[in-house]
Structure 1
């Protein structure tokens, strides 16, 4: 592996008065909240100036009676939110703030719900994105010299090239495996001594099942760290992955509109919420219905402002992700606030007047040792009445006969009723390998058959 590029780590050791120690990739990760706010204030003014190169933002500043220099944390709510619709309405380059000759790359969303969201990057953007990704991988426990296999899809999806560049920036060796071809993925992990495996959580489970199906044990693989992202996952789901590989599993968060992966990450020390890198992103959490800011700790929709983006400045972007935020210093010593994603507002199911996030159902299912982290949720409307059905597999390590599966389904129904305030119309506990798997792309667990509900 001597051909892989090595780079000296920029990690810094900080010792605090309360004896907590943080090994960080960049010293900004552990600055005081006051100093961090000062940095945000400076970056926000420059971000506002860049944004006024875009007609959409020029009009919004004028309508709000603001000049770029007026923009501050307190005055941000005077500006309207930026939404997915703004990206689609201004496709392809209406939100670009620099001439095309200054661009070095474009990425895009899948466009499955309409026009794709197209974003662009200057050379400076790519440099910052690489550094953020490396910082995230370091926080997740990876180090220079590690061999990291990237099982995210390459192409317009930001996960492939985003994590690829981050691994190299970290000074580790990247194995650009991409998505799918799981037999080859497993061989590469063994043959190259891969310690880091970057992927979607559903694919980590798929790989573990693949190894078991061939008579192996995923714990025998050299993988020690599994950063996951691009799909929602509960702590219980990540614990399943950690147990499967005997590895540290950390959740990562990214948005195509704001570089891609590397917006926020869990630290390996605590794995207790994802640190948002606040020298690059200003965080607001708002009531999804009113748009008003909510207190720290309260549940609300995450709104992000990109503080250092050049090609496509983004102010007050409604992510659609429902989070809980804390600004308490983490036990790792990092001071950047942490978020826990509860679910996506787009994924919220309203069933018989009750709000249900799929991740809440997942959390309950994984309380049962006899159940596997493979499930499906179906919602129907029959004679104007909503019904919800949950199908979940038995864990392959548990020999559960059909009569016992019926008892287990009854227990799961009762537990879901307690947790959700809604009794599922049917819970079906099925044998292993009954539910379709996804080898490439995001897994689809929720199937809403109600049409234009």
Structure 2
């Protein structure tokens, strides 16, 4: 079959599905193979780190003759990208880069993501596809409460709203009272934010004397953190709206990798014309068949600036057959992670980041614990850390305030710090437990 380019396939009416959405499974896989071969070749020819990785494993782009051949190629992960910091992972000259995003990581170095003009257009198209799939329509007013900045959520969602030819309210995160006022005054039909923040907005409406069920909101597209069907039901009861999931991660693209049907609400559909998903056993690295639980791995098929081949997300889920879009498989709810990353109000952080910051502050010891709770429906992290025995309690309290400030600046998440007496926290002769997750399941 002939493979049309994305520009030839693009619909003129943003209210209608993209032609690729309606492809059969056979058509999707034929398109995937062509794009996969191009993507692997682009990575090998354009990025020294990929060339060294593949040469060391004895594979080359010529070995990719079928989709199953992808399993011959080694995995990549955050550390692979960090070693290319800041721009050595790019496969195009810097003059072709139109935007840079970044996410924080364990070593203090972020993973840097670049986008060409074509990448940005693809990203906006897929976010728009997710929004339309969820029930947002051209002409709708959409309140965007995802954070703007290096985090991909805010600007990624913003571009998708405009691509759909809807009207964006670029509110960003925080300022709950202002959010409530603008939703009341502007009367948007849809909202984009994290699920826990939408529940916090409900409390804001009640504090303002407004019943959340009486707002103008009819559709919520929620992501950036795991959430359950129980939380979906509570959100829908609280606001009298339809709540749908959206999935993405900055290294693969940002939000828009997968989105949920507003009619079925039966798990997020992965847009397989642009991404090839795999599920692997996180311990043996064996590729698992559709339906089995394991770690989600993505290959980006059309990215120009930053090739992503067999990227381990560490998200634990399963692949499911397609429903509303039969040619595209779905991903089940994220049930956990295969590493120790904490997702706190849409921000990814690791215990080792806290340790790195704390050890740079006088009077604080390396003995700490992270306790995760959900008071007032918002995730909260409390850092319990011992002061050093050679400092006073007053010095310790001052150091604790410094720790909270630096976590906010360097990681982007607010937390509470409790400075404990020396020896107050449990020790371990084996694997130390850093994280105590006390949030309701």
Cα distance in 1 for partners of 2:38, 2:372 equals 49
Note closer, same or farther for the CA distance 1:394–1:115 as it changes in structure 2 (3 Å cut).
Answer: closer
Determine the structure 1 residue equivalent to 2:133: 139
User: What whole-Å deviation, never above 9, does each CA across 1:66-119 have from its counterpart, x for those lacking one?
Assistant: 332322421212211101111111110121111111110100003465311101
Indicate conservation of the 8 Å contact 1:324/1:342, yes or no.
no
Q: CA deviation at 1:138?
A: 0.6
Q: CA deviation at 1:232?
A: 0.9
Indicate conservation of the 8 Å contact 1:110/1:157, yes or no.
no
2:60 is the alignment partner of 1:67: yes
Note closer, same or farther for the CA distance 1:208–1:394 as it changes in structure 2 (3 Å cut).
Answer: closer
Q: CA deviation at 1:187?
A: 1.5
Determine the structure 2 residue equivalent to 1:148: 142
Cα distance in 1 for partners of 2:53, 2:199 equals 45
Cα distance in 1 for partners of 2:426, 2:164 equals 45
Indicate conservation of the 8 Å contact 1:9/1:144, yes or no.
no
Indicate conservation of the 8 Å contact 1:103/1:121, yes or no.
yes
Indicate conservation of the 8 Å contact 1:8/1:144, yes or no.
no
Cα distance in 2 for partners of 1:265, 1:449 equals 43
Q: Return structure 1 stretches of 4+ with deviation > 6 angstroms.
A: 387-395, 440-445, 447-451
Determine the structure 1 residue equivalent to 2:226: 232
Determine the structure 2 residue equivalent to 1:335: 327
User: What whole-Å deviation, never above 9, does each CA across 1:144-196 have from its counterpart, x for those lacking one?
Assistant: 00000110111111011100000000000000000111111111112112011
- Normalised by the length of structure 1, the TM-score is 0.73
Cα distance in 2 for partners of 1:393, 1:107 equals 31
Determine the structure 1 residue equivalent to 2:275: 281
User: What whole-Å deviation, never above 9, does each CA across 1:423-448 have from its counterpart, x for those lacking one?
Assistant: xxxxxxxxxxxxxxx9x977989x99
Counterpart among 80, 86, 89 of residue 83 in structure 2: 89
Determine the structure 1 residue equivalent to 2:352: none
Note closer, same or farther for the CA distance 1:280–1:183 as it changes in structure 2 (3 Å cut).
Answer: same
Cα distance in 1 for partners of 2:426, 2:277 equals 35
Determine the structure 2 residue equivalent to 1:31: 23
Cα distance in 1 for partners of 2:414, 2:31 equals 39
Indicate conservation of the 8 Å contact 2:276/2:299, yes or no.
yes
Note closer, same or farther for the CA distance 1:61–1:113 as it changes in structure 2 (3 Å cut).
Answer: closer
2:108 is the alignment partner of 1:114: yes
Indicate conservation of the 8 Å contact 1:98/1:311, yes or no.
yes
Q: CA deviation at 1:30?
A: 2.1
Aligned residues: 354
2:254 is the alignment partner of 1:260: yes
Determine the structure 1 residue equivalent to 2:7: none
Note closer, same or farther for the CA distance 1:226–1:113 as it changes in structure 2 (3 Å cut).
Answer: farther
Greater CA drift, 74-83 or 255-264: 74-83
The alignment partner of 1:138 has SS state of helix
User: What whole-Å deviation, never above 9, does each CA across 1:371-409 have from its counterpart, x for those lacking one?
Assistant: xxxxxxxxxxxxxxxx999977799xxxxxxxxxxxxxx
Indicate conservation of the 8 Å contact 2:15/2:137, yes or no.
no
Cα distance in 1 for partners of 2:341, 2:253 equals 26
| C-alpha RMSD of the superposition | 2.9
The alignment partner of 2:68 has SS state of coil
Note closer, same or farther for the CA distance 1:304–1:444 as it changes in structure 2 (3 Å cut).
Answer: farther
Note closer, same or farther for the CA distance 1:393–1:94 as it changes in structure 2 (3 Å cut).
Answer: closer
Note closer, same or farther for the CA distance 1:176–1:74 as it changes in structure 2 (3 Å cut).
Answer: same
Determine the structure 2 residue equivalent to 1:175: 169
Structure 1's unaligned 5+ residue stretches are 1-6, 13-24, 350-356, 359-386, 396-437
Q: CA deviation at 1:11?
A: 4.2
Cα distance in 1 for partners of 2:159, 2:207 equals 33
2:252 is the alignment partner of 1:248: no
Cα distance in 2 for partners of 1:199, 1:92 equals 29
Q: CA deviation at 1:128?
A: 0.6
**Where do 1:26-425 residues align within 5 Å?**
26-52=18-44, 53-71=46-64, 72-111=66-105, 114-327=108-321, 329-330=322-323, 332-340=324-332, 341-347=334-340
Q: CA deviation at 1:62?
A: 2.1
Indicate conservation of the 8 Å contact 2:200/2:376, yes or no.
no
User: What whole-Å deviation, never above 9, does each CA across 1:24-47 have from its counterpart, x for those lacking one?
Assistant: x21211211111000000000110
Q: CA deviation at 1:284?
A: 0.4
Note closer, same or farther for the CA distance 1:444–1:235 as it changes in structure 2 (3 Å cut).
Answer: farther
Structure 2's unaligned 5+ residue stretches are 1-10, 345-368, 378-407, 419-424, 434-441
